[in-house]
Amino acid sequence: YIGYFCAGMYFNTYINDKKTLKVIYFLGIIGALITVIGTSLISVFSKHPTHIFYDFLCPNVACMTIALFLWTKNINVDWVSDKVQQTIGRFSRATLLIYFVHWYIIDGLRVVIGLSVVTVGVIYIPIIVLFAFTLSLGLAIGLLKIKLIKRIFG
């Protein structure tokens, strides 16, 4: 996981030109398509679910992660209200903690409801992602109220 943290620091510092950003966004979209289509095809042809395209070190996942990071970093929020900007700021402050707790949320979902990325299907993946993100965000915001946690992560 530390590689993504270091990549974020690098991309935040050195990637600013629009041409490079467009290439990275395109690779992120391709990465998402490879994840969904590749997983579906391999699962159908092998006749059992597979998670080969969901590994954190897969190039498609790296492309999606980097593209999403740069897109959220570069999105223009000047046109939105102050309340929305405050909400974005709250998300931003909680990001590192969300990153740390989301894995426990996903593991908890696996245990409680028998969730497996490869068994939920393409339609349920966005629902599970939104659910895990919402739980992670809520937990992170709650944990950030603890002074020690806020000092470390906030």
What is the Cα–Cα distance from 119 to 129, expressed in whole angstroms?
14
Instruction: Look up residue 80 and give its DSSP letter.
Output: S
pLDDT at 11 over 60: yes
What is the Cα–Cα distance from 32 to 63, expressed in whole angstroms?
8
Helices (H), 34-74: 39-46, 59-74
Instruction: Tell me the whole-structure pTM to 2 decimals.
Output: 0.62
pLDDT at 78 over 80: no
- Count of H-run helices and E-run strands, the chain: 7, 0
pLDDT at 68 over 80: yes
The pLDDT tens digits for 86-121 are 877 777 777 778 878 887 887 787 777 665 555 555
